[in-house]
Amino acid sequence: MYKLYSLLLLFILSGVSCSGDKATLDTDASLKYCEQQVNRSLPLLKESFKIPRNILSDESSGNWNCTSIYDWTSGFWPGILWYLYEYDHDENIKKAAERFTAALYPVVDRKADNHDLGFMMYCSLGNGYRLTGNEEYKKVLLRAADSLATLYDLRVGTIHSWPGMREKMGWPHNTIIDNMLNLELLFWAAKNGGGEQLYKIANRHAEVTMENQFRNDFSTCHVVVYDTITGNRIKQVTHQGYADSSMWARGQGWAIYGFTMCYRETRNPAFLETARKAADLYLSRLPEDMIPYWDFDAPGLPEEPRDASAAAVVASGLLEMSLYMQDEVDAEKYKSAAVKILASLSSPAYQSREHNQAFLLHSTGHKPNNSEIDASIIYADYYYIEALIRLDKINKTGAI
Ligand code: GLY
C-alpha cells in the first residue's frame, strides 16, 4: 500500500500529465519533484568536499557517486542547490548551497590547467553571487576569471581548452566547443571590476570558434586543433563524439547555449544567427521524443544510448534564444521546442523518481571511453532545473 502511494505521489510530483501519447509540462510540479529529490540526497551528503557526479545504471543503492572539488563537474551540485533556493526560498537549502559553494574556494588556488574553471566556479559561485550578493563569492569569481584568462593564446584568439593534450596528442593548441560556456565567467568578470580585457578575450574566443568549429551545415566538431605559430586551424576532430565528421549531441548543445549567451553579452547578431542555425539543424534531426541519441551519426541508431544532458542544455539555451527573436512566430517556435523537450524529460521515461536520487535518467558522458553511458549525470540535472526556472520566469515576467 505504501509503495503504491509512493509511486502515485512520485508520478504527481513528476509534473507530467499525459493526453494521448503527448506529455505536457507542469513546471511547478516538475520543480517540486526536483526539490523532493534534493531532499532525498542531502542527508547522505555530509562531506562538502565530496560532490555528486553520477549514478550509473547498475548502481543498486540509487545514491550519488561523488567526486572531488577539482573535477570539472564540481560546480553543478552547488548550482542546483542555488536554483532550488531561488525557487523555494528554503533556508536549509540555502545553508547547503553555501556549504558546498564554500568547499570550492581552494579550486582557485591552483593554476588553471583547463577551460573548465568557468563551469566549476560560475555555476556555483556565480549563481550564489547573483542570489545573495556575497562579496566573498565575487572575490573568488574574479580570481577564477583571471586564472581562466591565462589560458588565452593571443595568436590563435582562443582559450586553450585542454593544455594536457599538447603532449598526449601532439596538438599545439586545442579548443573544444564546450569551452563556449566558460566565457560567461569572463563576461561577468568584465562587468564586475575584472577589466575590459576579459570581455575582449571572451568575444574573440567566440568569433574564432564561430569561424572554425562549424561545418557548412552548422553542425559542430568537438575539437579544433590550432597552430600556435600561424594561429591557423590545423584540423577539426572529435574526442567525445562518434567521428571527426559526426554531430556529437552535447557538443551541439554547448554551441546552441554558448552562442546564445554570447549574443546576450555582446549583441553581435552573428552569434545569434550561429546559435539559431545550430539549433535548427539539431531540432530537425531529433527523434520523436525530442531527446537525442548521444551522437546524431552514431553507427547503431536507433539502438544507441540517449543523452538527456544534451536535451537539458538545449532546452535551457532555446528558452533564452526565444527571448531574442524579433518575430513572434520564431520566438514561439524556440520556446515551444524547449517546452516539448522539458515535457519529455519530465515524463516517466526520463525521470529518476524511485530509481535513484537524481532528477534524470539516460545521459551519456563519454561513449568512446565507455564511461557514464545511460547514466544519471549531475550536469543533466543542473541544466534541467535551470531550464525549468527559466521557463517559470519567462511565463511570469517575460525575461530570464
Ligand atoms: N567535456 C564536457 C562534456 O562532457 O560535455
What does the pLDDT read at residue 88?
97
Nearest-angstrom CA–CA distance, 38 and 105? 23
Q: Is the CB of 307 under 6 A from ligand 1?
A: no
CA atoms within 13 A on the CB side of 259: 27
> Nearest C-alpha to atom 1 of ligand 1 is from which residue?
178
What does the pLDDT read at residue 1?
36
pLDDT tens for 151-170 read: 999 999 999 999 999 999 99
The C-alpha cell that represents 120 in the structure block: 566549476
Nearest-angstrom CA–CA distance, 354 and 167? 45
Q: Is the CB of 222 under 6 A from ligand 1?
A: no
pTM value is 0.95
Please indicate whether residue 71 is annotated as part of the active site: no
Nearest-angstrom CA–CA distance, 122 and 183? 10
Q: Which ranges of the chain have pLDDT less than 70?
A: 1-22
What does the pLDDT read at residue 69?
98
> Nearest C-alpha to atom 4 of ligand 1 is from which residue?
365
User: What count of other Cβ atoms lies within 10 Å of the Cβ of residue 9?
Assistant: 12
Q: Is the CB of 250 under 6 A from ligand 1?
A: yes
Mutation pick for ligand 1 pocket among 72, 177, 363 (CB with most ligand atoms within 8 Å): 72
**Marked catalytic residue, from 71, 116, 146, 330:** 116
Please indicate whether residue 178 is annotated as part of the active site: yes
What amino acid occupies position 290? M
